[in-house]
């Protein structure tokens, strides 16, 4: 077409006009740390694996998950999910049921027989791992991923540490535990049972380049309670451990558990399942001070466990115990009142905490032990070079999740140490706080509740109390994730730019800005649902 | 509801795109191959709602017509920022004639296309006319009404930003009550635009009994696209009135353009609905009900309502207008199902 | 084929033969009969492949034509007087965009006072709008000029106004030679737009042009009119080849070869002037006539050539440039710059005032004696004018002028004039 001068123009020719020069601030894509990830002691990239679950690619989700944690089926049951406490969705309706999706993925992996795949070339290094609890299994797994030969020495006849000997079956079915351990063995982890290490330095000399200690805390703390000969005073560690033996402990009709932690709850609920008519927890403070998790207390109460608050056991008689009432002083500490009560009890189980058996570390130079805990640096290395430690023996939190996190951290540090380097974790992104997000865009979707076993079966069997999600509701739950601080390719930036200055790179590749035309209006930043774009001042 | 909302796919149909949706359910704007009918390099202000609304609407119309589309444009911001010699941003056949005649020019184009199609020279080429609220509700109203009553095969799209922004923010018959403009300054006893004046053109369009009338905002892309698509299913005169916030005229930050449109809809200030042959067929219900104050307060054109002693009575009058919309168009918030 | 018919009907039939594709119609006297006839032809399907649109105003009429022309359709409309003024913004726009619309202007006075009768005030008010303006002397020429207009407009991509005197031509029944479809088709090829709204080749038409190119755009419009100046006589020749008669061109001369006095005019009044000249020639006066067909572009060279042997000229025009006098006369004076001719301006026939041979004869004789004022108002009722002027001097509130004058001249209503 021979066009008239000036009044008729060629289509789209405004591309010659680079409006980017108008800009005083520029948008930039960022990845912010989702609060769930920030809260996860195991360092899981939760948002990252939920991303795959959202589209139904569960295997990819499981693979993303297991980059950090090799035990999702276990963790999906026993983790106290601090991630959910951090979840930004709680400010919209309720936190995403991350834990339930994790369990779904873990169970799916067992059902489908998914295996780990190695990535790194074989290094030829052998690393000893002492103990097959969560810390040890995690360390062994990550060492294997990094190309090293992990060799676990486990003193007990079965692997799993406290996951087997501390957590009751109704919370963690043993076939789940066995499956996840077997997968690690299939992955190449050498597992030697009934192999107790008595002197670590001697054992190290048998061809190991480094060692990770994850021996746990299996020694029950005791409290002095005057007791008659006939009265049974037991400790929680032994009771729960014996549950795994052929002979279940004889606790009697009326069982008193002394303590306020999760272990106390576990023992009381176990006693109930063993046939006790009454299981009573005696705790010296109030419910809000109780270290046990609220939901576990709630489940225990549902199952008929009773709790004596503000009480201490003064003495244990033949068929009863004497309790002294306490009162909180102005600082919130319980003080004796001089008021006493007797309650019937066939046995008393002490659940007052555990200590670690550190005898294998005798004579190791450089080690520092403080209040029963072995002291480690940021890379989980003890004062003795090449000796690393984690799990219950190195911290007071004593959860499976923390232990798994320790194992991972230590494995990375060991890998660096073996190469004569020091492991430097990548810098942490700033937290994706709720204020940085635009929650308008998320569909209204309340949390999916997991099915709960009915009360009668809970009082009489060790069947798992909490059920899992099926595929449809696991996906629903995954899709409740708001992908805080991380692009989930919603196309909002691409769509809302009045200047077409966002380039779509294709599935999985995200977007980039075309700064030739971006005027810096900031609409993409304001309308990004998940806060994955920020504005920075233009320099010139 | 103008379209079938996706119940729950993380963001459902709230976001522009959603990787979890099957491709056929995705928006035009989410496509990497969208037309960008109005290209980069246009000279609209930062955060321009009209530039955005125009691309949303015209891209959707291009999709619906298989790119057989011609546009006539009234004088105004959209025309000025898109086609200053020697560059144009339009990638579709486009003509600008005058301020007040876009609807008539479009009628002419449609007539030309009808004849040429009968002669086998062109395919089924469709026509849109577009303009701002001044070019539509004021100076272009005669031609628009003529196009409506003749039921010419034209989709007219009004990008309503509530005033003559191109000439420096003067009042139009679409300027809301109490809003400050250059010709309704915030001085005197009743600062800002007078209550009881102005017109709501969608209702007037409906009174012409034309096949399709709809309102939309730049905050509800899916709804907007569905309405353009629906409009293109009809022959005859059709009208879509799109609320496009103007950072300059409203006195809002450039990044809040979509937010302002959302607030206009959520407060009931701007009813979002569609009508066929003069009858309302569906409304976009309010999702998170809000008082009008939430909409008014961020805008400098209403700043005089929020001085040392807030103009409570005036705000209440505006709330009453919003409440009336909510009653009249049944915009009450609905429980989002999932 | 020779036919006896109304001028409007003749024009309508000629338009139909041009195969228009879009016709916009809005009623205003005295053009109404043209579009009425066309509307009937479309409705009864004797004119096919044509959209006939009843618009809501002249502004819309021109705007629809702009759209249809830009859409690549041969587009036509007609108007007059107030209607032309109401569409002015679009009139300028059509030429600015270079759209080859053809429009009939059935010339009529502009109010106030409102007046439906003929003069040239309407189209002459648009002398600078960028349209080509062709003035018809007879119904035959009106018919022929429309056929030429489409060809001219489309070749140059410029709109053309064909001006014909309202009522005097539009409503007059005369014998016309109506061409055949084959003749028109042989002369006028199908419309091939220079620019078009085409989905296969999208362009933006109607850009905003700033100081950097605006003057050039305006000059190019001027250059096109200069091209038209060359093309109009050629088209007349081509027309003659196909249709066998002379029609169109820039100017028509009558008895000018030896004329000492030449009367210049446009439109149907040329007939009366020629009759008067015939009478005066018989009496031995060396007087001739120059009819201007192409008012825009104005044929400066042709006019100068036609006047080169005369001593004086009289421009008789049906228009008044209030405050100076003539409109056409100003252009003629520019054409004869440096030729040392005496020129007189005569304003005549405003608002349908009859121009009689008697008055013309007296006028021309006075002109030949060079006794005319520089600007003369033919047959002005000085008594009535002076009375009103006196009244206004005497009273601040002297009342409405038109009504007072009607009283003074002793008519009850305008129709009785």
For position C416, what pLDDT does the model report? 43
Contact criterion met (CB < 8 Å) for B14 and A440:
yes
Q: Compute φ and ψ for C94, nearest 5 degrees.
A: -60, -45
Closest residue in B to C65 (Cα) is B108
Mutate to test the interface with A, among B34, B255, B264, B294 (most CBs of A within 10 A): B255
CA distance A384 to B327: 77
Residues of C with CB under 8 A from a CB of A: 96-98, 157, 194-196, 198, 201-207, 209, 213-214, 216-217, 220
Within 8 A of B108 by CB-CB distance, chain C residues are 22, 24, 53, 63-71, 73, 75
Chain B neighbours (≥3 Cβ pairs under 8 A) are A, C
Q: Is A117 near chain C, with CB under 8 Å? A: no
Q: What is the CATH number of the domain that holds C259?
A: 3.40.50.920
Chain C neighbours (≥3 Cβ pairs under 8 A) are A, B
Q: Compute φ and ψ for A408, nearest 5 degrees.
A: -65, -45
Q: What is the pLDDT of residues C148-162, one digit of tens each?
A: 999 999 999 999 999
Question: In chain B, pLDDT over 90 holds for what percent of residues?
Answer: 91
Q: Mean pLDDT across chain C, nearest whole number?
A: 96
Which segments within C61-120 are labelled E, that is strand? 75-79, 102-107
Contact criterion met (CB < 8 Å) for C97 and B97:
yes
For position B287, what pLDDT does the model report? 93
Domain boundaries, chain B: 29-329
> In chain A, which segments carry CATH 1.10.1060.10?
35-114+437-478
**Which CATH architecture does the domain made up of B29-329 adopt?**
3-Layer(aba) Sandwich (3.40)
Please give, rounded to a whole number of angstroms, the shortest distance from the CA of B82 to a CA of chain C: 9
Within 8 A of B221 by CB-CB distance, chain A residues are 495
Are both C212 and C361 inside the same structural domain?
no
- pLDDT above 50: residue B337: no
Residue C155 vs residues B103, C8, C241: alpha-carbon distances, Å: 28, 26, 19
CA distance A127 to A153: 11
For position A108, what pLDDT does the model report? 96
For position B153, what pLDDT does the model report? 98
Weakest-pLDDT range from A171-175, A240-244, B113-117, C105-109: A240-244
Q: What is the pLDDT of residues C41-61, one digit of tens each?
A: 999 999 999 999 999 999 999
Contact criterion met (CB < 8 Å) for A514 and B40:
yes
For position A6, what pLDDT does the model report? 87
Are both C116 and C256 inside the same structural domain?
no
Q: What is the pLDDT of residues B280-290, one digit of tens each?
A: 999 999 999 99
Give the residue carrying structure tokens 């992996």: A109
A103's tokens: 């369990």
For position B237, what pLDDT does the model report? 98
What's the whole-number mean pLDDT along residues C337-352? 97
For position C396, what pLDDT does the model report? 82
Within 8 A of C98 by CB-CB distance, chain A residues are 4, 7
For position A455, what pLDDT does the model report? 78
Indicate the fold that domain A13-31+487-537 takes in CATH.
Answer: Alpha-Beta Plaits (3.30.70)
Contact criterion met (CB < 8 Å) for B52 and A498:
yes
Q: Could you tell me which CATH class the domain A35-114+437-478 is placed in?
A: mainly alpha
Within 8 A of B258 by CB-CB distance, chain A residues are 496, 523, 526-527
Contact criterion met (CB < 8 Å) for A5 and C217:
yes
Are both C177 and C97 inside the same structural domain?
yes
CB-nearest to C203 from A5, A6, A8 is A8
CB distance A391 to A216 below 8 Å:
yes
Contact criterion met (CB < 8 Å) for C204 and A11:
yes
Within 8 A of A500 by CB-CB distance, chain B residues are 36, 38-40, 55
Within 8 A of B51 by CB-CB distance, chain A residues are 498-499
CA distance B147 to B237: 7
Count how many pairs of residues, chain A against chain B, have C-beta atoms within 8 Å.
170
Domain housing C289: 251-377
Chain A neighbours (≥3 Cβ pairs under 8 A) are B, C
> In chain A, which segments carry CATH 3.50.50.60?
126-218+356-418, 220-352
For position C411, what pLDDT does the model report? 65
The CATH superfamily of A220-352 is FAD/NAD(P)-binding domain (3.50.50.60)
What's the whole-number mean pLDDT along residues C387-415? 79
Q: Is A14 near chain C, with CB under 8 Å? A: no
Count up the domains in chain C and report the number.
Answer: 3
Q: What is the CATH number of the domain that holds C148?
A: 3.40.50.970
Closest residue in B to C61 (Cα) is B104
Mutate to test the interface with C, among A8, A9, A12, A17 (most CBs of C within 10 A): A8
- Which residue from A59, A44, A47, A31 is spatially nearest to A96, judged by alpha carbons? A47
| Residue C303: CB atoms within 10 Å | 22
Are both C353 and C387 inside the same structural domain?
no
What's the whole-number mean pLDDT along residues C110-139? 97
Contact criterion met (CB < 8 Å) for C216 and A6:
yes
CB distance A406 to A363 below 8 Å:
no
Are both C236 and C297 inside the same structural domain?
no
Q: What is the pLDDT of residues C222-281, one digit of tens each?
A: 999 999 999 999 999 999 999 999 999 999 999 999 999 999 999 999 999 999 999 999
Question: In chain C, pLDDT over 70 holds for what percent of residues?
Answer: 98
- pLDDT above 90: residue B5: no
CA distance A83 to A95: 9
Are both C127 and C17 inside the same structural domain?
yes
Q: Is A442 near chain B, with CB under 8 Å? A: yes
Q: How confident is the model at residue C189 (pLDDT cuts 50, 70, 90)?
A: very high
Indicate the fold that domain A126-218+356-418 takes in CATH.
Answer: FAD/NAD(P)-binding domain (3.50.50)
Are both C51 and C115 inside the same structural domain?
yes
Q: What is the pLDDT of residues C281-305, one digit of tens each?
A: 999 999 999 999 999 999 999 999 9
For position A228, what pLDDT does the model report? 64
Closest residue in B to C97 (Cα) is B97
| Residue A51: CB atoms within 10 Å | 24
Weakest-pLDDT range from B7-21, C322-336, C398-412: C398-412
- pLDDT above 50: residue C417: no
Contact criterion met (CB < 8 Å) for C54 and B150:
yes
Residue C393 vs residues A188, C386, C387, C390: alpha-carbon distances, Å: 120, 10, 10, 5
A243's tokens: 């549950």
Contact criterion met (CB < 8 Å) for A498 and B89:
no
Are both C31 and C122 inside the same structural domain?
yes
What's the whole-number mean pLDDT along residues B138-155? 98
Low pLDDT (below 70) residues in chain A: 1, 228-231, 246, 540
Contact criterion met (CB < 8 Å) for C203 and A6:
no
Within 8 A of C204 by CB-CB distance, chain A residues are 8-11
Give the residue carrying structure tokens 């021309």: C364
CB-nearest to A495 from B16, B256, B336 is B16
Q: How confident is the model at residue B335 (pLDDT cuts 50, 70, 90)?
A: low
Q: What is the pLDDT of residues B258-281, one digit of tens each?
A: 999 999 999 999 999 999 999 999
Q: How confident is the model at residue B7 (pLDDT cuts 50, 70, 90)?
A: low
CA distance A509 to C149: 61
Q: How confident is the model at residue C406 (pLDDT cuts 50, 70, 90)?
A: confident
B85's tokens: 């010699």
- DSSP H/E element including A477: helix A471-478
What's the whole-number mean pLDDT along residues B176-191? 96
């Amino acid at each position: 077409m021979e066009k008239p001068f000036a009044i008729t123009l060629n289509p789209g020719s405004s591309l010659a006009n680079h409006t980017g020069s108008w800009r005083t601030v520029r948008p930039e894509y960022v990845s912010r740390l989702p609060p769930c990830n920030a809260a996860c002691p195991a360092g899981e990239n939760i948002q990252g694996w939920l991303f795959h679950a959202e589209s139904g690619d569960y295997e990819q989700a499981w693979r993303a998950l297991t980059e950090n944690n090799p035990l999702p089926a276990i963790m999906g049951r026993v983790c106290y999910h601090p991630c959910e406490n951090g979840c930004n969705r709680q400010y919209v309706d309720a936190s995403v049921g991350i834990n339930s999706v994790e369990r779904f993925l873990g169970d799916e992996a067992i059902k489908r027989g998914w295996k780990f795949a190695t990535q790194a070339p074989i290094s030829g290094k052998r690393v000893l791992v002492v103990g097959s609890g969560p810390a040890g299994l995690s360390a062994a797994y990550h060492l294997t991923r990094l190309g090293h030969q992990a060799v676990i020495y486990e003193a007990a006849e079965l692997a799993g540490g406290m996951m087997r000997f501390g957590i009751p079956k109704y919370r963690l079915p043993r076939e789940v535990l066995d499956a996840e351990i077997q997968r690690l063995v299939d992955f190449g982890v050498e597992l030697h049972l009934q192999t107790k290490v008595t002197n670590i330095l001697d054992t190290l000399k048998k061809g190991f380049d480094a060692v990770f200690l994850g021996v746990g805390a299996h020694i029950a703390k005791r409290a002095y309670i005057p007791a008659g000969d006939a009265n049974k005073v037991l400790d929680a560690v032994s009771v729960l451990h014996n549950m795994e033996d052929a002979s279940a402990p004889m606790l009697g009709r009326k069982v008193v558990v002394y303590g306020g932690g999760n272990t106390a709850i576990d023992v009381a609920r176990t006693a109930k399942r063993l046939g006790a008519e009454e299981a009573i927890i005696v705790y010296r403070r109030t419910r809000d001070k109780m270290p046990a998790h609220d939901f576990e207390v709630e489940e225990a109460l549902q199952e008929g466990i009773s709790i004596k608050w503000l009480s201490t056991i003064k003495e244990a008689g033949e068929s009863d115990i004497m309790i002294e009432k306490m009162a909180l002083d102005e600082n919130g500490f319980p003080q004796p009142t001089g008021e006493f009560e007797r309650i019937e009890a066939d046995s008393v189980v002490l659940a007052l905490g555990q200590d670690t058996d550190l005898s294998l570390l005798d004579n190791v130079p450089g080690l520092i032990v403080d209040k029963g805990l072995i002291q480690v640096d940021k890379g989980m290395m003890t004062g003795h070079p090449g000796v690393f430690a984690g799990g219950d023996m190195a911290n007071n939190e004593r959860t499976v999740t923390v232990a798994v996190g320790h194992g991972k951290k230590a494995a990375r540090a060991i890998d660096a140490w073996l190469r004569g380097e020091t492991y430097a974790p990548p810098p942490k992104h700033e937290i994706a706080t709720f204020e940085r997000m635009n929650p308008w865009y998320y569909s209204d979707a309340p949390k999916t509740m997991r099915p709960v076993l009915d009360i009668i079966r809970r009082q009489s069997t060790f069947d798992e109390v909490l059920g899992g999600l099926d595929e449809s509701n696991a996906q629903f739950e995954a899709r409740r994730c708001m992908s805080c601080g991380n692009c989930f390719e919603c196309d909002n930036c691409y769509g809302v730019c009045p200047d077409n200055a966002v380039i779509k790179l294709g599935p999985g590749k995200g977007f980039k800005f075309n700064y030739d035309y971006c005027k810096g209006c900031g609409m993409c930043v304001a309308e990004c649902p998940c806060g994955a774009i920020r504005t920075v001042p233009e320099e010139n | 509801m103008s379209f079938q909302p996706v119940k729950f796919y993380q963001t459902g149909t709230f976001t522009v795109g959603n990787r979890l949706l099957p491709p056929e359910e995705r928006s035009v704007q989410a496509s990497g191959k969208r037309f960008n009918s109005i290209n980069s390099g246009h000279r609209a202000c930062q955060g321009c709602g009209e530039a955005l609304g125009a691309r949303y609407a015209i891209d959707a119309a291009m999709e619906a017509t298989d790119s057989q589309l011609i546009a006539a444009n009234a004088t105004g911001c959209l025309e000025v920022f898109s086609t200053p010699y020697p560059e144009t941003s339009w990638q579709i056949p486009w003509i600008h004639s005058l301020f007040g005649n876009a609807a008539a020019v479009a009628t002419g184009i449609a007539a030309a296309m009808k004849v040429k199609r009968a002669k086998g020279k062109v395919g089924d080429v469709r026509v849109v006319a577009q303009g701002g609220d001044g070019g539509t509700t004021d100076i272009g109203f005669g031609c628009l009404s003529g196009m409506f009553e003749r039921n010419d095969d034209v989709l007219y799209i009004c990008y309503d930003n509530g005033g003559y922004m191109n000439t420096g923010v003067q009042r139009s018959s679409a300027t809301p009550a109490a809003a400050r403009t250059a010709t309704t300054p915030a001085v005197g006893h009743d600062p800002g635009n007078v209550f009881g004046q102005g017109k709501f053109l969608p209702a007037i369009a409906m009174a012409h009994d034309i096949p399709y009338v709809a309102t939309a905002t730049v905050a509800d892309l899916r709804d907007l696209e569905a309405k353009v698509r629906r409009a293109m299913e009809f022959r005859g005169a059709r009208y879509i009135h799109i609320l496009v916030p103007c950072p300059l005229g409203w006195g809002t930050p450039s990044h809040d353009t979509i937010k302002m449109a959302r607030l206009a809809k959520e407060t009931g200030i701007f009813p979002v609905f569609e009508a066929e042959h003069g009858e309302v067929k569906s409304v976009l219900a309010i999702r998170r009900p809000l008082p009008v104050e939430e909409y008014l307060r961020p805008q400098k054109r209403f700043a005089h309502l929020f001085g040392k002693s807030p103009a409570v009575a005036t705000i209440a009058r505006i709330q009453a207008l919003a409440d009336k919309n909510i009653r009249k168009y049944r915009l009450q918030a609905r429980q989002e199902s999932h | 084929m020779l036919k006896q018919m109304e001028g409007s009907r003749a024009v309508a039939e000629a338009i139909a033969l041009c195969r228009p594709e879009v016709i916009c119609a809005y009623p205003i006297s005295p053009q109404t009969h043209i579009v009425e006839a066309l509307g009937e032809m479309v409705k009864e399907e004797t004119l096919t492949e044509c959209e006939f649109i009843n618009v809501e105003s002249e502004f819309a009429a021109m705007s629809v034509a702009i759209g249809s022309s830009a859409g690549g359709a041969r587009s036509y409309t007609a108007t007059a007087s107030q209607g032309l003024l109401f569409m002015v913004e679009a009139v300028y726009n059509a030429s600015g965009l270079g759209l080859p619309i053809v429009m009939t202007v059935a010339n009529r006075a502009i109010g106030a006072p409102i007046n439906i009768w003929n003069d040239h005030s309407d189209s002459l008010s648009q002398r600078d709008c960028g349209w080509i303006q062709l003035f018809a002397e007879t119904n035959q020429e009106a018919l022929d000029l429309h056929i030429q207009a489409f060809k001219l407009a489309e070749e140059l991509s410029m709109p053309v106004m064909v001006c014909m005197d309202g009522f005097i031509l539009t409503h007059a029944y005369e014998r016309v030679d109506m061409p055949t479809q084959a003749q028109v088709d042989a002369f006028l090829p199908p419309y091939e737009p220079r620019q078009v709204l085409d989905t296969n080749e999208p362009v933006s038409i109607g850009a905003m042009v700033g100081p950097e190119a605006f003057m050039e755009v305006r000059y190019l419009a001027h250059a096109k009119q200069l091209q038209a100046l060359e093309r109009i006589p050629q088209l007349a020749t081509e027309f003659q080849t196909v249709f066998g008669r002379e029609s169109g061109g820039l100017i028509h001369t009558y008895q000018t070869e030896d004329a000492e006095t030449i009367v210049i005019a446009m439109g149907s009044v040329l007939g009366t002037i020629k009759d008067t000249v015939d009478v005066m020639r018989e009496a031995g006066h060396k007087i001739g006539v120059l009819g201007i067909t192409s008012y825009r572009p104005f044929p400066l060279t042709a006019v100068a050539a036609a006047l080169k042997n005369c001593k004086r000229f009289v421009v008789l025009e049906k228009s008044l440039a209030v405050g100076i006098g003539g409109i056409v006369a100003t252009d003629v004076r520019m054409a004869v710059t440096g030729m040392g001719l005496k020129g007189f301006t005569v304003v005549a026939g405003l608002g349908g005032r009859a121009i009689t041979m008697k008055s013309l004869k007296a006028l021309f004789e006075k002109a030949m004696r060079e006794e005319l004022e520089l600007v003369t108002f033919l047959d002005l009722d000085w008594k009535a004018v002076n009375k009103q002027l006196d009244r206004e001097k005497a009273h601040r509130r002297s009342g409405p002028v038109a009504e007072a004058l009607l009283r003074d001249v002793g008519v009850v209503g305008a129709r009785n004039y």
